[in-house]
Structure 1
Amino acid sequence: MGQPIIEVENITFHYHQESTPALNDVSLHVNKGEWLAIVGHNGSGKSTLARILNGLFIPDSGKVRVSGIELSEKTIWEIRKHVGMVFQNPDNQFVGTTVKDDVAFGLENIGISRDEMVRRIDWSTKQVKMDSFLDHEPHHLSGGQKQRVAIAGVIAVQPDIIILDEATSMLDPIGRSEVIHTIRELNNQGLLTVISITHDLEEASKADRIIVMNGGEKFAEGIPEDIFMLDEKLVEIGLDLPFPFQLSKKLREAGVPIRHNHLTEEGLVNELWTLKSKA
């Protein structure tokens, strides 16, 4: 994994002078090219953290550096050139009457020339497999298609980092799979560093690294296999363990000789198939 592209040092943040901080002395880093999942229940501080990383909020104390730029009131717009964000509800993100207009909106805001705009619209919509929908009206698209257009609008601006703030939580399983697959391909191509803000541990299990937030503080950090070793401690702070992980445990308790607590359905199915073949 590459060098840190985001560095967060001891940040604290309060909403409207509330006595309890939404974030309390949080430090972390994000490596260039990685997929980092930040998980936690509602109120854990994960979405507040996302908004600080995008410059929507400024911390009360501590430091945030993005691509070597320290976040301040003066550098917010420079930071946002490096960080794109896809929010929870795809219907709230459209500003254009067609897919093409919507992707063009962000490019117009940063003064991209018309020829370059046409090139970027073509490139970004092809990346998310929405190039055949350029003249479609947004309300005719599925939830997954809308989120893929939102992603196209972000990557057309060519940021280094994309933040998915619960971007799949309102989608059906097919739409969720479409969006994650699209982002994974872009990440694998080296086009994006990805930060996924989610409460879905099954989605987080596919990340390179996971940070668990609880009560505005960092509760745990590590690769998915290490995080899921916490098991019931994650349940105690309001998180649901991935179904394949739970089923692996249940099968072992029932006497099935499974060696691993699997994070994916594929892994569990493969081990069960191997056991069947040996039987």
Structure 2
Amino acid sequence: MNKSIVQFQNVSYRYDENSPLALKNVQFSVYEGEWLAIVGHNGSGKSTIAKLMNGLLFPEVGSVYINDINLSDDTVWDIRDMVGMVFQNPDNQFVGTTVQDDVAFGLENHGIPREEMVVRVQDALEKVNMGEFLDQEPHHLSGGQKQRVAIASVLALRPRIIILDEATSMLDPRGRNEVLETIRQLKQEDNITIISITHDLEEAARADRIMIMNQGEVFHTGNPTDIFALDEKLVELGLDIPFTHKLAKQLIKHGFGIDDSMLQEDKLVDYLWKLQQKI
């Protein structure tokens, strides 16, 4: 196992003194280079965790460490240099009149020299397959393209960690797959740590590990196979079992040779296609 790059140590948080705890004694680690999906119903605490990772909030009790740095007023900017966030609505993140202006905006704020800025902008856009859209106006892009540009804006800052806070929830299926495939490639090629906050278990199935939040507490953590084995318990927690898992279970029931690797949609489709070719 790689070293932990994020640690929550007995973290509790409430939004005001009259409200209940949004997080209750939360403790977990995220490991360098892994993809952790944090799932849960609305109000489960998953978005509060995202804000604590980036110093948008500070723990009421306990400690948050990012790459061994304890989150505090004194360290928050150091931590934000390591953590990039991609939010739900890409339109809310655009500030430039063109794609390259938008990706360059954060670099300008960090005082990056122009020569390096040009290289970083081009490199970040190439990584998300948007290199041909440098001079395009953002509002002409599709939803998936906009979100990939938002990811490029974060990538250009060279973070160690990227947090996706419901980043695919407003996209159509094609745009959603574009973004998730981009994230998979970034993790594989650049060893970036990915933390996705989502209520969608289809999306979470692509992660290395899944952590379920329920009423401000960590309910269960495991790989996708472990999590989907909870089955109807997920429904009780307000989460829907992915269609791919439901289909795989039926295939197993009828004697087909399904293994854990086929819980992901593309792998199962490939298996069924090869099976059909044999018939």
TM range (shorter): over 0.9
Instruction: Look up the match of 1:208.
Output: 208
Q: 1:258 aligns with which of 224, 247, 256?
A: 256
- The amino acid across from 1:42 in the alignment is N
Q: TM-score, normalised by structure 1?
A: 0.94
Alpha-carbon offset, residue 190 of structure 1: 2.7
Instruction: Look up the match of 1:122.
Output: 122
Instruction: Specify every segment of 5 or more residues in structure 1 that has no aligned partner in the other structure, as ranges.
Output: none
Provide, for residues 122-173 of structure 1, a one-character-per-residue CA deviation record: whole Å limited to 9, x for no partner: 1111111111111111100100110111011001000100000010110011
**1:207 partner SS:** coil
Q: TM-score, normalised by structure 2?
A: 0.94
Instruction: Look up the match of 2:222.
Output: 222
Alpha-carbon offset, residue 248 of structure 1: 2.8
Provide, for residues 3-34 of structure 1, a one-character-per-residue CA deviation record: whole Å limited to 9, x for no partner: 00111100000012234111110001010001
Among the aligned pairs, what percent are the same residue?
60
* Matches for 1:1-279 after TM superposition, within 5 Å: 1-251=1-251, 256-258=254-256, 260=258, 262-269=262-269, 272=272
Alpha-carbon offset, residue 246 of structure 1: 1.3
- In angstroms, what is the RMSD of aligned CA positions? 1.8
Decide whether the 8 Å contact of 1:8 with 1:63 is kept in 2.
yes
- The amino acid across from 2:5 in the alignment is I
Q: State the distance in 2 between where 1:139 and 1:275 align.
A: 43
Q: State the distance in 2 between where 1:234 and 1:109 align.
A: 43
Alpha-carbon offset, residue 69 of structure 1: 0.8
| Residues matched between the structures, number | 277
Provide, for residues 189-215 of structure 1, a one-character-per-residue CA deviation record: whole Å limited to 9, x for no partner: 134110011111011111111100010
Q: State the distance in 1 between where 2:132 and 2:271 align.
A: 40
Alpha-carbon offset, residue 258 of structure 1: 3.3
11-20 vs 162-171, greater mean Cα deviation: 11-20
Decide whether the 8 Å contact of 1:202 with 1:263 is kept in 2.
no
**1:95 partner SS:** coil
**1:189 partner SS:** helix
Instruction: Specify every segment of 5 or more residues in structure 2 that has no aligned partner in the other structure, as ranges.
Output: none
Q: State the distance in 1 between where 2:242 and 2:277 align.
A: 26
Decide whether the 8 Å contact of 1:38 with 1:197 is kept in 2.
yes
Alpha-carbon offset, residue 67 of structure 1: 1.1
